Structure 1
Amino acid sequence: MRYTLLLHYPEMTADDLGPEALEQGQQAFTSYAATLHSAGVLIASEVLQPSSNTTTLRSAGGGAPVQVQDGPFADTKDQLGGTFVIDVPDLDTAIEWAKQAPSMGYGAGGVEVRPGAVYTVDGVWTANA
């Protein structure tokens, strides 16, 4: 079963972090990705650009025009910073992998574990089972 680990943490610039903390963070996420890969569960991962680069679309539905706005407009200091898509047997296993995400050590945010419903591979839709 595929799960997406959505990593939320306080957003900081490289300057805010400083070169040493930035290097440590990059090493931690590289190690985490390598561990997931070695275990044969990693499907994909992404580090997202800062939330200031976000564009949000909203619609009231029923043919109402789509509203396009700059920014995520999230009512939180923690932002979605990246994702890992894993394929594991069950939710308990996904939770165990999520506990190991480096962002869990940041003391804020958290990791949302969300099962996928359907996905595409080479343009073919597949149900997540």
Structure 2
Amino acid sequence: MKYLLLIYFQEQNLAEAERQACYDESRQLAQDLAAKGQFVAASPLQPTALATSVRVRDGKRLVTDGPFAETREQLGGYYLIDVPDLDHAMAAAERIPMARKGTVEVRPLIELEGLPQ
């Protein structure tokens, strides 16, 4: 089953050296998951200052700079994994470096048939 691990943290509280150490540890986690055939994708996100939110109301596109909601923690990255069950997904989530400073939300995917590979 595929799970999306959404990584939330306070992006302004992360020094550049901490960010680079997090990237290094995250690359190792991705390699470990890939060795088990469980890695699908992962990536950090650019800061929320570069985000754009799009809504459609009454057939018209509304564009807003910034993230959808003001929150204490921001979405900073993700892993997409394919593991046997929730226990395996949580085991991967606890290895994500930002789980020690923020929150990792574990969400199972609904796999729709007919989508491109």
Tell me if TM exceeds 0.5.
yes
- SS of corresponding position for 2:7: strand
Please name the residue that 1:12 is paired with.
12
Structure 1 portions without partners, runs of 5+? none
Q: 1:36-92 CA distances to partner (integer Å, 9 max, x unpaired)?
A: 1122100011111111111101234xx342211110042212111111100011112
> Given the alignment, which residue of 39, 43, 47 partners 2:44?
47
Does residue 35 of the first structure (1) align with residue 25 of the second (2)?
A: no
4+ long deviations beyond 4 Å:
none
In percent, how many aligned pairs have the same letter? Answer: 34
* Cα RMSD after superposing both structures: 2.1
- Say if 1:101 and 1:18 are closer, same or farther in 2 by CA, change over 3 A: closer
- Say if 1:59 and 1:94 are closer, same or farther in 2 by CA, change over 3 A: same
Scaled by the length of structure 2, the TM-score of the pair is 0.85
Please name the residue that 2:70 is paired with.
75
Q: After TM superposition, give the deviation of residue 119 of structure 1 in Å.
A: 5.8
Scaled by the length of structure 1, the TM-score of the pair is 0.78
Residue-pair matches, total: 116
Does residue 22 of the first structure (1) align with residue 19 of the second (2)?
A: yes
